[in-house]
Structure 1
Amino acid sequence: MIARLRTSWVAVMLIVIASVFVPTNAVSAHAGLISSEPKASSWLAVSPTEIVLVFDEQVGVVFSRVTILDQEGNEIINAKLIRDQSDPRIVRASINTLPNGTFVVVWRVASADSHPVQGSFAFSIGASSSDVTAVMNAGISDRHGLNNLFNVIRFAMFASVLTLLGGAALVAFGSRSAPSIRTHMSLWSAWAVALFASVQALFAYGPHASGVKIYNLTDLSLLGDTMTTLFGQATLARVLLLLLFSFMLITIDRRSQRWWRMSAVAIAVAIAGSMSAVGHPSNQSPVGLSVALDMVHQLAVSMWVGGLFLITIDRKYWLRSTQSMLWFSRIAGYSVAILVVTGIGQTILLMDQFADLFTIEFGQKLSVKVLLVVALVALGGLSRKTLHAAGPAKLHQSVLVESLVALIIVGITALIVALPPRAQASLVPFETTLKQSGLIATVTVTPARVGTTEIHVSVASLDGTFLQTQSITGRVGLPERSLPSGPISFEKTGLNHYTAIVSFAFAGDWDLDILVKPTDTTTVLFSTDVLIKE
């Protein structure tokens, strides 16, 4: 019997691990910028009249904005983005005429799943450019205090909703005696925290999504804008559902009646739906299946972890009832099985490839979470064995340890839901400076990825004397795939500045040769390797 139990728990843990390690193709759950006008690190002869951003999914524009900084980091333009009428993935903002120089564009939009995303890129106008790396890094890393606040809100929301729904189910279905005062107070406390966190999220989302400071929490205009978004509507629905659930707590003494149980289950399902509507599942295809899997996943976690939290809070009451603990042990086992199935389904819809588990933040945190879940399942197996052998009185320390592990898992989950589950397309350009025969050439390939890109070449003399190049030609090839060098046609776009449009069909180290003709009788060859990514 013990051998069979051990085999079963090992099998469950292996399946849990497998549920994460399933590679798949999926759409992104967070918006990623795939192109822009002006392009990143591009050189323009004249000022653009607008900023155009193209994403890989539809983005929200209620709180979107684009800020243009000069080379010193000073804000010179702050404009609201509007959605393109022909393509919901494209947003644009009209801007005033800019002088010559190098500028940094910092953009911020909301993904289809309501999570804000931010990025930056630079472009130059005229013949010269400046190093704005520090300005770009400052712009892209400026997270404001509300990101941390939102992490706290999510953690409080997840922990309290799990305890409320799972605890109410334990009282309703797992106990025949009247619940203790501590159990009553624990359920009401979980309800109060869930309600407060939901209301707080309504006020905080506007400042969070628009990237403003924490003191804007009281800005009612931002609250009004929040109510026009899916996040605001789903969160308001959750507030109303929690208010309705308070009636179930008031009448919990009638929990054995059919109407009470059906009503409680219906409200619990609706609360789970309000949370799935503003998470990764809301942006997966097929949406119905993704949201359904996430709702079932949440409810299964509630039955297991939420019940565990309530038992830990009121161990004196629950650990004296063998019948209640046997019921919980059985339900926890079923919940783990459901978690495995729904976890595999969610993984198939979310994850892109095995390597992402180690190369992107979402995968790294998810791997840690899964290892902790495996540990929690193992601890649960030991507690189950103790329950059958010695009774619930011996579980005081084990349920406390399990709850601590579960609480860490909830904390990691609160961080994971705000992260993109796939590697975002990179718009990082390739840039290098080459010196040859008294000349210096600045070469920029933007973006440095498979597909159509721009190659910019700017040439100057090393000693600072006046130079006016006659022409520039080039060739590019990929030796590792036996692709011979093909010609590149450059167009003059400014004094000693040339641009070419090139299509890179494969990722790899491409050989780029640039032939500069500073005079009618002189040609200078610049050669470099360009790393093109997927």
Structure 2
Amino acid sequence: MLLLQAPYALGQAMSIGEVFGAVDDVLQTRLGTWLVVRGSILLAFLILIRQRNLHEKPIYRMTAILLGIGLFATFSISGHPGMREFSVLSIGTDIVHFLSVSAWMGGLVTLVLLGRKWQSESSRVISWFSFTATISMPIMVATGVAQAWRMMEGFQNIFSTTYGIVLSVKVLLVVVAIAAGTRARQLFKSKKVEQQDLKEIKFSKTIVVESMIGIVVLAVTAVLVSVPPLSVSGAAAFETSVVQANVIADIRVTPARVGEVEVHVVLSPPGGALQSIEEATARISLVAEEIPAIPIDVQLVGTNHFQAALLVPRAGDWLLEIFVNSEPGKSLRFSAVVEIND
């Protein structure tokens, strides 16, 4: 991923020599730094796995847990949670969510892949998974809801936004998965589980069904990541691109109507995502100058990606102005006239 980041960020094909030559630039970015940390942790995991004689020792398990927390932290710190307001709380919640999902899905996948091999120690294996799932699933739901609440700034628009609708589908699937898992664990507790009992109660099939639902949940989550949290579904949006000094600003105002709107500004400097722009200010004013300029609180939510929420009081043509510092001592102004409807 370290080698692929430069062509991805620049949005263009690169020769092998250019890719390797751009590695140093990638390492100077926030993502590049945490990619190196992630690689180091994965290498430590590989070394730890090979030490089979230590697998039953407490120090091994504690080390594995700490490495797992560190691994998930690299995703949270280098991603959106690390760039939001109260980032420490957001990162912590994100890490706990990752750990809970891994404990649940990891246990399911392990049981499915082992197949009948684990039936020789069925009571021990299923008891372990039952205990782990019982704890991890409620934590997974709680942290997921907390993160969604922060991303959507409340749940008042949950059924009027694309993000909210996709999130609702995900929650429904999780509830179904929890019901399937709960049923399986109730069957397990109601019988003395031996090999013949497993065949009779079809415990293995229940585990496979729960795993399949879990995979669908992960697929829905992948869709959820690509959807803006506050964009109203079905509402008209204003979109334009403005160029200043070879820096492209892709501006999106959603919805373009009176009331609460969301502004997204994605900047594309000549160096792509490798050239980080971390400061921006904005304001909006009525072209007819009947209303004084309204300052906009702009937040950095991703690499060269700024977001803001504001209240537009009336319809008309509004002048949106964005000011960024593309380089030290160099300020650029991007402007666009946005038509706001009733």
TM-score by length of 1: 0.43
Query: Equivalents in 2 of 1:385, 1:217: separation in Å?
Result: 59
Contact 1:203 1:217 in 2 (8 A): no
Contact 2:257 2:315 in 1 (8 A): no
1:373 aligns to 2:181 (yes or no): no
Give the secondary-structure state (helix, strand or coil) at the position aligned to 1:330.
helix
Matches within 5 A, 1:48-63: none
Partner deviation per Cα, 1:209-251 (whole Å, 9 max, x = no partner)? 2222487897223333221111111122111111100122111
1:283 aligns to 2:115 (yes or no): no
Amino acid corresponding to residue 423 of structure 1 in structure 2: S
Contact 2:5 2:26 in 1 (8 A): yes
Q: What is the match of residue 302 of structure 1?
A: 102
Q: Percent identity?
A: 27
Query: Equivalents in 1 of 2:25, 2:103: separation in Å?
Result: 35
Matches within 5 A, 1:406-421: 406-421=214-229
1:344 aligns to 2:145 (yes or no): yes
Aligned residue among 132, 144, 151 for 1:331: 132
Query: Equivalents in 2 of 1:375, 1:215: separation in Å?
Result: 48
Displacement of 1:326: 1.2
Matches within 5 A, 1:359-508: 359-390=160-191, 391=193, 392-393=198-199, 394-423=202-231, 428=239, 452-453=284-285, 455=287, 488=288, 506-508=312-314
Query: Equivalents in 1 of 2:17, 2:156: separation in Å?
Result: 39
Query: Equivalents in 1 of 2:219, 2:312: separation in Å?
Result: 40
Q: What is the match of residue 230 of structure 1?
A: 30
Query: Equivalents in 1 of 2:167, 2:204: separation in Å?
Result: 29
Contact 1:301 1:339 in 2 (8 A): yes
Partner deviation per Cα, 1:22-68 (whole Å, 9 max, x = no partner)? xxxxxxxxxxxxxxxxxxxxxxxxxxxxxxxxxxxxxxxxxxxxxxx
Contact 2:149 2:155 in 1 (8 A): no
Amino acid corresponding to residue 301 of structure 1 in structure 2: V
Matches within 5 A, 1:10-21: none
Amino acid corresponding to residue 415 of structure 1 in structure 2: V
Unpaired runs of 5+ in structure 2? 241-255, 260-282, 295-310, 318-338
Contact 1:203 1:218 in 2 (8 A): no
Q: Which has the higher contact order (CA 8 A, sep 6+)?
A: 1
Contact 2:81 2:91 in 1 (8 A): yes
Q: Aligned pair in 2 of structure 1 residues 297, 316: CA closer, same or farther (>3 Å)? A: same
Unpaired runs of 5+ in structure 1? 1-200, 430-446, 456-487, 490-499, 512-529
Contact 2:100 2:140 in 1 (8 A): yes
Structure (1 or 2) with the greater helix fraction = 2
Query: Equivalents in 1 of 2:228, 2:140: separation in Å?
Result: 21
Partner deviation per Cα, 1:145-182 (whole Å, 9 max, x = no partner)? xxxxxxxxxxxxxxxxxxxxxxxxxxxxxxxxxxxxxx
Query: Equivalents in 2 of 1:414, 1:217: separation in Å?
Result: 32
Give the secondary-structure state (helix, strand or coil) at the position aligned to 1:357.
coil
Contact 1:509 1:531 in 2 (8 A): yes
Q: Aligned pair in 2 of structure 1 residues 260, 381: CA closer, same or farther (>3 Å)? A: same
Root-mean-square deviation (CA, aligned residues, Å) is: 3.3
Q: Aligned pair in 2 of structure 1 residues 268, 252: CA closer, same or farther (>3 Å)? A: farther
Q: Looking at CA atoms only, which structure, 1 or 2, has the larger radius of gyration?
A: 1
Query: Equivalents in 2 of 1:279, 1:329: separation in Å?
Result: 32
Displacement of 1:374: 1.1
Query: Equivalents in 2 of 1:217, 1:410: separation in Å?
Result: 36
Displacement of 1:532: 4.2
1:261 aligns to 2:61 (yes or no): yes
Q: Aligned pair in 2 of structure 1 residues 506, 289: CA closer, same or farther (>3 Å)? A: closer
Q: Aligned pair in 2 of structure 1 residues 416, 218: CA closer, same or farther (>3 Å)? A: farther
Contact 1:301 1:335 in 2 (8 A): yes
Displacement of 1:454: 5.2
Displacement of 1:268: 1.0
Query: Equivalents in 2 of 1:225, 1:426: separation in Å?
Result: 35
TM-score by length of 2: 0.65
Contact 1:255 1:261 in 2 (8 A): yes
Structure (1 or 2) with the greater strand fraction = 1
